[in-house]
């Protein structure tokens, strides 16, 4: 992940642009008890931007590194102007390596590349930590709601429409509701949300193109696409919880 270790901003940035060194921020977050356990960066066609492009890091508290279902901080940054510094609340499920990004209703922390920022970043990490209790409450509430088959179909249809649009969808609602392991053979809202998310993110489902050719659905590998879909699914699940509560 060369962009994480970049030592300067991209030469296209103006003098007003404050370089926020990701590795320095990580060192400061480590001192506060947060540890990174996953990192990736966007692919770029222009190799000149490879060392400055948008990157994502997931962090946990030290005492939760090996947890099965763990709240996490998702850190986004870049050194080429493609992203402000962001911290988002997330949730990780070890059994399927699913990393969820919570919806906009939980808030997020954005720090523009202007002026002194390190203190604001540390403060932001604790703001995100303060959201975790609410995330846990939502998870428990979703686990307490059993969905009828028609409600499951409605959730899956909304997810497919968001992912592929109204006109054509390469797979069916039944396919993205299919559990990939026996632990997920449950009908509560949380599990249906997890199954749908995993099937859409990981892809590999057998379907057909708009022209009728056999094909498998593509995985979502990009940072932006992953976060957008995750957020949308969270909001759908949250809305259904409110409707059925």
Reduced 3-state DSSP string for 209-223 = CCCCCEEECCCCCCH
Give the residue-averaged pLDDT of 135-151.
93
Written as six digits, the tokens of 184 are 């997920």
Whose CA is closest to 53, among 29, 34, 78? 78
What's the whole-number mean pLDDT along residues 23-42?
79
Top-confidence residue, 188 or 68: 188
Global confidence as pTM: 0.75
Rounded average pLDDT over 10-20: 53
- Of 232, 229, 224, nearest to 41 by C-alpha is 224
Tokens of 226: 């992953």
pLDDT category at 64 given cuts 50, 70, 90 is confident
Distance CA 187, CA 199 (A): 16
Q: Find all residues with CB under 8 Å of 68, minimum gap 6, and list them.
A: 93, 94, 95
Binned at pLDDT 50, 70 and 90, residue 2 comes out as very low
d(CA 56, CA 39): 6
What is the residue whose two structure tokens read 């906009």? Answer: 104
Alpha carbon distance 6, 148 (integer Å): 51
Q: Check: CB of residue 108 under 8 Å from CB of residue 88.
A: yes
């Amino acid at each position: 992940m060369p962009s994480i270790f970049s030592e300067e901003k991209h030469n296209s940035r103006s003098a007003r642009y404050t370089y926020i060194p990701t590795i320095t921020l990580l060192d400061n977050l480590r001192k506060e008890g947060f540890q990174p356990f996953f990192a990736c960066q966007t692919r770029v066609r222009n190799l000149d931007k490879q060392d400055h492009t948008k990157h994502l890091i997931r962090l946990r508290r030290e005492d939760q590194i090996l947890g099965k279902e763990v709240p996490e901080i998702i850190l986004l940054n870049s050194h080429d102007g493609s992203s402000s510094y962001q911290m988002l609340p997330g949730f990780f499920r070890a059994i399927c390596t699913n990393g969820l990004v919570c919806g906009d209703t939980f808030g997020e922390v954005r720090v523009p590349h202007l002026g002194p920022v390190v203190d604001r970043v540390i403060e932001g990490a604790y703001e995100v930590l303060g959201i975790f209790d609410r995330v846990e409450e939502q998870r428990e509430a979703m686990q307490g709601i059993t969905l009828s088959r028609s409600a499951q179909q409605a959730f899956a249809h909304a997810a497919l429409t968001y992912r592929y649009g109204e006109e054509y969808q390469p797979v069916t609602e039944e396919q993205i509701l299919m559990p990939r392991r026996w632990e997920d053979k449950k009908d509560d809202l949380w599990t249906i949300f997890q199954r749908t998310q995993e099937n859409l993110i990981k892809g590999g489902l057998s379907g057909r193109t708009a022209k009728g050719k056999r094909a498998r659905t593509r995985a979502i590998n990009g940072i932006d696409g992953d976060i957008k879909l995750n957020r949308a699914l969270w909001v759908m699940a949250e809305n259904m919880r409110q409707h059925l509560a």
